[in-house]
Amino acid sequence: MKFNQKLTLVTAAVLTVMPVIPVFNNFSAVQAAAKKPTTTKKKAAKNTLQVGKTPIVYDRNGNYNAKYHQKLKTGAILKYSGKPIYLNQQRFAAGIPVPTSRIVNGKLFYAIGKGNYVKESDVLTWLGNTNLVNLHFRHKKNYIYNKNGKKVAHYNGGKNYFTNKQKPKIEVPYYNSPKELFNIGKGGYLDASQVVKINGKGTLFLNNNTPVYDAAGKPIKNKSLKQGSVINYYSKPQKATANTQFYYYQNKTKMTLASVKHGNDTYLPISKTQYINAKDIALVNGKVLWDKGPVGITLLNDVYAYTAKFKQNKKALYRAGTKLTIDKMKIEGKKSPQLYLHVKGTKNYLYWGNEKDYAANPLDYRHGSTNIVMQTMLHN
């Protein structure tokens, strides 16, 4: 999936889960050695990059550049100049700002801060494109409630309701989403997530700030890489096996890179002696890097569980902040297939979203396969 866009296409249901990055401190011996990359007779020109699909062009501030009229085709090789620009931006799990929700006695509430809530049915809409939005209400009196669904006596020393003329500002969940931009000339910049090759070599796109490790799995002092950046890997792509933990698809073929494993962590090489944790990688050559799982998640909102027959079970309510382990996926439907995550050790599933929002081989979801659980780009 396009890293910039697919995350903006997922439904608000995606707000219900966010993976947790496991931290393991015990390292075992190296289990596999990274292979040296194959050399080619003709070296690629320096300061070149190759895009995958037809790219989106930005300005130097990270905004869509409607004035850039040079036509760029799929697979285009472009010259870039200077060092990439690094910007810090906000990202929302549903693509737009959405208030945090809570379910009380079957009714949906929106958090407004300091443990206070308003009914979803009282909210007409909210406006804003940052982590601060203004609520617009339906009624003359729109009451304020505590976490148990009881009306509060007063709010901030005033009345215990909002009128439909008031537009209170609330904070909504967001995540840092840095951009690394390459200058391709004529006012155009390309985001690092769109780059599949740099100087003719394959790339890794990072979804977290990541330390750089040595071959023994120990962090190298004062050596780290930034979230949102792209680097070359030092390995030759190879076909994945049934036991491969991290993999991607290249022309419908399941591929991986040579790696080393320490404890529960897998590391991919970026040089002859340096590695990064696979959990910190979102894309390989512009393709989603998938995690076989199991995967830990933390709920961002209250959510009802679903049965194995995809029926909502209102007797099984998970609260925001709950940590769970997901061990497989199921898919429902053919015309509009929907994905569900199985909660390990239970009969419960969590709704994840429309299959078409995720760029993987649908066969991996069939029959409750455990081959694919969640894309690592959401581990942030």
What integer pLDDT is reported at residue 96 of this predicted model?
77
pTM value is 0.74
Q: Predicted confidence band at 371 (pLDDT cuts at 50, 70, 90)?
A: very low
Q: Predicted confidence band at 195 (pLDDT cuts at 50, 70, 90)?
A: very high
What integer pLDDT is reported at residue 230 of this predicted model?
97
21 beta partners = none
In Å, how far are 82, 254, 344, 349 from 328, measured between CA atoms?
44, 18, 8, 9
Sheet holding 179-185, edge to edge: 57-58, 188-191, 179-185, 81-87
What percent of the chain lies above the pLDDT cut of 70? Answer: 81
Cβ atoms of 147 and 104 closer than 8 Å: yes
**How buried is residue 151: exposed, middle or buried, by Cβ count under 10 Å (0-12/13-18/19+)?**
exposed
**Which stretches of 138-234 are assigned E, i.e. beta strand?**
142-145, 161-162, 169-171, 175-176, 179-185, 188-191, 195-198, 201-206, 210-213, 219-225, 230-232
The reply to whether omega before 211 is within 30° of 0 (cis) is no
Cβ atoms of 51 and 19 closer than 8 Å: no
- Read off the pLDDT of residues 250-286 as tens digits, 9 standing for 90 and up: 887 999 999 999 998 999 999 999 999 998 998 999 9
**Domains parsed from the chain with CATH numbers:** 101-171 (no CATH), 295-378 (2.30.30)
Q: Which residue has the higher pLDDT, 96 or 111?
A: 111
DSSP structural state of residue 5: H
Contacts for 88 with CB less than 8 Å, ≥ 6 apart: 176, 178
- Read off the pLDDT of residues 102-147 as tens digits, 9 standing for 90 and up: 999 999 999 999 999 999 999 999 998 888 999 999 999 999 999 9
Half-sphere exposure of 103 (CA within 13 A, CB side): 16
DSSP structural state of residue 244: -
Average pLDDT of span 298-305:
88
**How buried is residue 351: exposed, middle or buried, by Cβ count under 10 Å (0-12/13-18/19+)?**
buried
Structure tokens at 33: 């050695």
